[in-house]
Amino acid sequence: MARVNTATDALPSLPQALIPVLDATQAEEADFQSLARAILQDAGMSGRLLQAANSPFFYRGSPCRTIDRALFSLGLDTVRSLALTAAIQQLFGEFGPRHRGYLRVVWRRALTTANLAQVLATLTRYPRPEEAYLAGLLIDIGRLIRLVEDEGHYWPILQAAEDDPHLVASERETYGRHYGELGGDCLETWGIGPFVADAVRYHMEPAEHVRDAHHLVKLVNLAHSLGCLPATLSATAEAGCNETALAAADTLFGLNEGLARELRGRVAEDVQRIAGSLEIDLDGPAPEPAAGPESADRAAERALGARVRDLTELQRMNGELARGASLQERCEAARRTLFLTLGVSQSLLFLVDADQQSVSAWVEDDETPDFILPLLPGRSLVTDTLLDREILRHEEENAAGLPVIDQQLFRLCEAERLWSFPLLADDRPPAGVLILGLTQDQASALEARSDFIRALAREIARALVQPTPAASRDDTKTEQRIRETVHEAGNPLSIIQNYLGVLHHKLGEEHEARHELGLIKEEIDRVGRILLRLRDPQAAPAGDAGPASLNDLVRQVADIVDGSLCRTRGINLHLDLSPSDPPLSVPADHLRQILTNLLKNAAEAQATGGEITIATRAPTTVKGRRVVPLSVTDKGPGLPPSVQAAAFAPVESTKGPGHSGLGLSIVKRLTEEIGAGLTFTTGSAGTRFEIALPHQPAGPADATGTTRP
């Protein structure tokens, strides 16, 4: 069994099925739902994912029994690595071209059984149709494992088998058990669940033997029977349901002949349509033609090879860029990689200046840039690329009507065509613009790789926005620990976010819990932004503009604290909000964090039956400065003398274990960062914190375009 448990490392897949998986992992905005759909069209890739998710390296306390959960547990980087490994093994492994025809047999059988099992599950009200689909998809996992482990003996058995019973008898004679039993044992070892394992283990049993078995076992057994697709090479698929399958439909679920035939026909059409979309010729011959047009299999293999090449180049570029200690070294590494990867010897990088109002480029090794372009529309190919965040192309024959700077770029790059890519990295501010100088022939050859060049541009952007390492060795170690901590903290946050998305979808639009799920999502988003500020304190988090409404923000925070702290302690939380509710210019996350800390302290300082009041007031003038008053008042015992004497400096908490004593010092720092005033009064009757938020009346919109994102 130990050998079986590791066999998925080399499970074969059709190239046509792996290409959508690789493409989904490389999409600019990777979508887990699209990725799951692609994976669920291939038994080999599904098996790899489930085994990895249930391994000791990724196990999270309970088994992963769905592809969705496996994706959430593993994360995009790991799934991308698994898909790339599968593609490389498919291209260069021992499972050669002679087996492509047989892989089509396996693929068609698995997808037909999976879709039938899911349809039957819905029809018979099985509560987890996705589980039925997965079990149907994996019915032949034992055959794939056996082919990988013992191809020399097993391939002749497959070739000689006249039909399924003959294959089962030959396998039992040779191995002591058939492929269904092997697959069931393997799935159970992975932790997929006993009923999924049994569904695979008993999918070939006569209907009379499983009529009293678990619902899932009956579903997959009938789906396999209705599919009428043999497991051997010599047998052919029947055009429709045979009498045994029709009898099984009646025995197991009381389905009449007409309905059974209709379900089978509908699923057969669906599988044929999926095969067509993936360019899989289900009825094509296994061997390559000696001459003539390229086969669909060979074309798919070439396309898969191109994906592997591109992904490998991306990984190599990441390594090159990571070794650059300075911004200049990273730029040189990027240009060098563009030459080695694409053969482009002429490229320029325009970098966004610190004020985000202009871009600069160095052509020669001078301290001052050779070009400084204001970020204004219509001034250059470069600035329009960044302002519109779109790829732009220009041809030399049309250069005469362009601004002089663009004509200079054609000459500097010795180019017949200029391609301009915006350097955008995740949610960070733009890093700049990448200019490629190409000949006509280069442009034509690279047109098919434009998606790959976009991916290269994203990796360059990520490298350029990373802060330059500090000179101090201790500072470097500290920064590395911070970055590692932020990265690791991001993994569980991403998993929580993904699960919230799944729950949100499953509950539907009208469910009463959607409001609470929304609050949780907002708070997790805020935690993520706080962590990003830890990694890069100077960066303004995306989406952290001033709140449109102070009162709305107060209500949101109060709603969260009331449900999570106050009600459980019997504390009454009151809102005293001013009808005047002007927009503010302070960051929303800063204000949320300030309020959350003050309310948490107030709740924890009071016994059951306490009281907290949050009040806002209309803008007023204090010492010649317009401010918006905000206060938090409690009826607790007052601040301890040690806290009062510390004047908001970190102190040892008086609340016991689990409390850091940092809350008020964080409040003080955050109010200073947003330019707000902070005072407090305290005594035996309670404590009142008053915050004077800066108020700047909204002025006319800036029409210069210089702040355009």
Backbone angles phi, psi at 395, to 5 degrees: -110, 145
Q: For residue 705, is it within any domain?
A: no
Report the distance separating Cα 148 and Cα 161, nearest Å: 18
Q: For residue 135, is it within any domain?
A: yes
CB of 394 closer than 8 Å to CB of 417: yes
Q: What is the 3-state secondary structure (H, E, C) of 360-385?
A: EECCCCCCCCCEEEECCCCCCHHHHH
Choose one of 414, 449, 465: the last residue of a domain. Answer: 465
What SS3 state is found at 421?
strand
Together in a domain, 102 and 47 = no
* Residue 633: band (very low, low, confident or very high) from pLDDT cuts 50, 70, 90: very high
Q: What is the 3-state secondary structure (H, E, C) of 5-60?
A: HCHHHHCCCCHHHHHHHHHHHHCCCCCHHHHHHHHCCCHHHHHHHHHHHCCCCCCC
Report the distance separating Cα 139 and Cα 668, nearest Å: 61
> Which CATH number fits the domain that encloses residue 628?
3.30.565.10
What SS3 state is found at 657?
coil
Cα dihedral 129, 131, 136, 139 in deg (nearest 10): -170
The count of structural domains within the chain is 5
State residue 296's pLDDT score: 62
pLDDT tens digits for range 221-257: 999 998 877 666 554 555 567 888 899 999 999 999 8
Q: For residue 297, is it within any domain?
A: no
State residue 541's pLDDT score: 45
Q: For residue 293, is it within any domain?
A: no
State residue 61's pLDDT score: 63
Together in a domain, 572 and 682 = yes
State residue 491's pLDDT score: 52
Together in a domain, 110 and 48 = no
Q: Is 28 exposed, middle or buried (0-12, 13-18, 19+ CB in 10 A)?
A: exposed
Together in a domain, 370 and 503 = no
Together in a domain, 125 and 65 = no
Choose one of 465, 485, 505: the last residue of a domain. Answer: 465
State residue 634's pLDDT score: 92
User: In the numeric block, which tokens belong to residue 115?
Assistant: 């879709």
Together in a domain, 339 and 396 = yes
User: In the numeric block, which tokens belong to residue 36?
Assistant: 């799951």
Q: For residue 689, is it within any domain?
A: yes
State residue 24's pLDDT score: 78
What would the mean pLDDT of 152-165 be, rounded to a whole number? 85
CB of 143 closer than 8 Å to CB of 168: no
User: In the numeric block, which tokens belong to residue 378?
Assistant: 């219509």
State residue 212's pLDDT score: 92
If one compares 428 and 224, the residue with the highest pLDDT of the two is 224
Per-residue DSSP letter, 565: I
State residue 307's pLDDT score: 67
Together in a domain, 529 and 611 = no
Q: What percent of the chain stands above pLDDT 90?
A: 13
pLDDT of 276 higher than 90: no
Looking at 126-135, 342-351, 470-479, which range is the least confident one? 470-479
> Which CATH number fits the domain that encloses residue 233?
1.10.3210.10
Choose one of 465, 495, 525: the last residue of a domain. Answer: 465
If one compares 573 and 510, the residue with the highest pLDDT of the two is 573
Q: In whole angstroms, how large is the CA radius of gyration of the chain?
A: 32
pLDDT of 72 higher than 80: no
State residue 471's pLDDT score: 44
Mean pLDDT over the full length of the chain: 77
Q: For residue 296, is it within any domain?
A: no
Together in a domain, 278 and 316 = no
* Residue 483: band (very low, low, confident or very high) from pLDDT cuts 50, 70, 90: low
Together in a domain, 488 and 449 = no
What SS3 state is found at 256?
coil
Together in a domain, 165 and 205 = yes
What would the mean pLDDT of 488-514 be, rounded to a whole number? 61
CB of 452 closer than 8 Å to CB of 310: yes
User: How many CB atoms are closer than 10 A to CB 168?
Assistant: 18
Q: Which of 593, 588, 592, 556 is nearest to 575 (CA)?
A: 556
Together in a domain, 34 and 171 = no
Together in a domain, 229 and 343 = no
Backbone angles phi, psi at 87, to 5 degrees: -65, -45
Q: Which residues contact 488 (CB under 8 A, 6 or more apart)?
A: none
> Which CATH number fits the domain that encloses residue 455?
3.30.450.40
Per-residue DSSP letter, 539: S
Report the distance separating Cα 91 and Cα 79, nearest Å: 18
Domain that holds residue 410: 324-465
Q: For residue 709, is it within any domain?
A: no
Question: Rounded to a whole number, what is the distance in angstroms from the first to the last CA of the chain?
Answer: 57
CA dist 299 to 45, 86, 247, 305, 559, Å? Answer: 20, 18, 42, 10, 57
State residue 302's pLDDT score: 66
What SS3 state is found at 109?
helix
Report the distance separating Cα 579 and Cα 492, nearest Å: 41
Per-residue DSSP letter, 397: G
Q: For residue 401, is it within any domain?
A: yes
Cα dihedral 490, 496, 497, 498 in deg (nearest 10): 110
